Amino acid sequence: RRLTKDAKKRLEAISSLEELGAGFALATHDLEIRGAGELLGDGQSGQISSIGFTLYMDMLEQAVEALKQGKEPSLDSALAEQTDIDLRLPALFPDDYVPDVNMRLSLYKKLAGCQDERAINEFQIELIDRFGLLPQSAKNLLDVAMLKLIAKKIGVSKMEGTNKGGFVEFSQHTKIDPGFIIKLIQSQPRIYKLDGPQKLKFNVPTESAKDRLKLFTDMLNEFSQQLRAA
């Protein structure tokens, strides 16, 4: 009667595990009881919650490769190759759409490896064929992946959007002409302004996540047109 709720869970886990490899399973149960957060869900915790699953996994993979080659992992070089997008919307494969956690990991990895729009479209067809119509959070994930492709070509390192506005941060090697950004600010000073040498802030309210996706897509497409015109 004096046992706590967590203590009872641990005893139940110990009594149910007798086969080979039970130690690992027991450690996993204990981690769940302590509260490890959801690696692939909305309840992510720790550093992965701050930077997002895809960026976290890419940085982790680069760090592992560097260590294998006897090199010191470099945070700057890892971040320089990434584009981080946060539009304050759920962008993931929910567990009721892809129940198996290993399969979800595999799908995230495959999506991260899509290098162009055609690859993402083919990946979407594969998802629908295997698991059915995409839930909204999965649609958001693919839309964000499309945005990353455009942003990477332009030289955008980070994008963030809320219902009140947001910002676009350019990398040091961006292909955008600074003169184009200056003209944009001069023509619409109430909407756009610079926050430091690399960050363009904008004040455009949006009512929904769908509106934010369209806003960022239109903005990046406008930047892309400027590059083609140049």
For residue range 169-220, what is the model confidence (pLDDT) as tens digits? 998 888 888 888 899 899 999 999 999 888 999 999 998 888 998 999 999 8
The two structure tokens encoding residue 18: 């007798």
CA triple 118-124-128, angle to 5 deg: 150
CB 125 within 8 A of CB 77: no
Scanning the structure block, which residue is given the tokens 């400027």?
226
85-116 pLDDT, tens digit per residue, is 888 888 889 989 998 888 888 898 888 888 89
Burial code (b: 16+ CB inside 10 Å, e: under 16) for 41-69 equals eeebeeebeeebbbbbbbbeebbeeeeee
CA triple 86-90-91, angle to 5 deg: 75
